Amino acid sequence: MRFSNFLFPESRVPDEDGRVIDEALAEAQLSDALGMDVVWLAEHHFDGNCAYVDPVTFAAAIAASTRRIKIGFAVAQMSLHHPIRLAEQMALVDNLSHGRLIVGLGRGTAYNIYEYLGYGIDPAEAQARLIEAEEIIVKAWTTENYEHRGKFWQLRLPLLRPRPYTKPHPQMIRACSGEASIVEMGHAGRPFLMNVQSNAITAERVGRYRAAMREAGHDEAAIRRNLAASWGWRNIVVAESDAEARRVGVPAFEAMSTHRAAMRQRVLAEQGLTLEKRGTAPPARVLAEHSLICGSPASVIEQIAQIDETGIGGLILAFRLGPMASDVARRSLSLFMTEVAPAFRRAAVDGKYQDGIIQP
């Protein structure tokens, strides 16, 4: 299993934005120094839930100040971007990072209607915009004298510059918030990003993904490669003891969940608008039992072993939760990389990791 850091830093008030952005960049640099596989960037607007707001600009800063770590998007909200502009920006970051880019795309937020309102985009168009934009981006990276006549964009360009550093183009991955999207990626033979789900749902969707790839004629080697390149998301707090991890982690997680919902509640009260379906069960992302890995290094190893049994290839781990202080998150990250990650690497090398359990 591969491990990565999801930089999703919250800033409660505008006056703190600059400090939180600086701390997030320092956390990316620490992740690089500690040997983390990927640092992932989010995109959210207008609410302080993601202080740096624009992941493309922030990715350029990370590319210039790190040396080894890959830089992924989880995700760029495609409905809020012009595809040619994004193709140019991504090609530049790919060059700045010397090929360390993972272009994660999604339709846009499934929760925050105010992000679409702020950009003047109809949320109902988001999925169709994603599909059309993804085609445009790949063609812009790989062809000359490209013309496109679609529903949302009418384009003609001679040659996109700069050309991507990675040939034929950077790795691309699609966010999948539902089972149907997972199956679609399986049929297409593409890896996926999965949002926060319970271990049981994660395992079920991985199984459906495998079945979809087989139905489409992909062999077992291709299925293994794609699952190794696919990622699931969890929040995490590692401390010296289980009690300390719970003392720090649970209040931070609860405060984070409350803050992320506040703007949705405000817009609903003021305008009667929401993307959330009323009367449904709370999603896994707001339930600590499904969303939060929390404990001492030994406890965290056990919890991650259970996730590894689902078959997902990598974990996107958010270390800084809500109002958590930067130094607490950095300590958690350091403990994870020095005491948790090596256990999985040793077990893999020694052949001791069987059926998702580290053997004695």
Which structural domain range is residue 191 located in? 2-358
What per-residue confidence (pLDDT) applies to 39?
98
CATH of the domain at 101: 3.20.20.30
How open is the CA angle 105-111-117, to the nearest 5 degrees?
85
What per-residue confidence (pLDDT) applies to 96?
98
Cα dist from 266 to 17, 245, 259, whole Å:
21, 32, 11
Rg (C-alpha) for the chain, rounded Å, is 20
Separation between Cα atoms, residue 43 and residue 39, nearest integer Å: 14
What per-residue confidence (pLDDT) applies to 344?
93
Helix H or strand E encompassing 65:
helix 55-65
Q: Among all chains, which residue has been given the structure tokens 């919890």? A: 303
Q: Which of 327, 333, 260 is nearest to 23 (CA)?
A: 327
Question: Could you tell me the two tokens for 197?
Answer: 């789900």
Q: Which of 57, 50, 101, 112 is nearest to 79 (CA)?
A: 112
Helix H or strand E encompassing 22:
helix 17-34
Separation between Cα atoms, residue 34 and residue 56, nearest integer Å: 23
Digit-by-digit pLDDT tens for the chain (360 residues) are 999 999 999 999 999 999 999 999 999 999 999 999 999 999 999 999 999 999 999 999 999 999 999 999 999 999 999 999 999 999 999 999 999 999 999 999 999 999 999 999 999 999 999 999 999 999 999 999 999 999 999 999 999 999 999 999 999 999 999 999 999 999 999 999 999 999 999 999 999 999 999 999 999 999 999 999 999 999 999 999 999 999 999 999 999 999 999 999 999 999 999 998 877 789 999 999 999 999 999 999 999 999 999 999 999 999 999 999 999 999 999 999 999 999 998 755 555 544 334 443
Number of compact structural domains in the chain = 1
Q: How far apart are the first and last CA of the chain?
A: 19
How open is the CA angle 123-127-130, to the nearest 5 degrees?
115
List b or e across 166-177, with b for residues whose CB sees 16 or more CB atoms inside 10 angstroms. beebbbbbbbbb
8 Å CB contact between 74 and 38: no
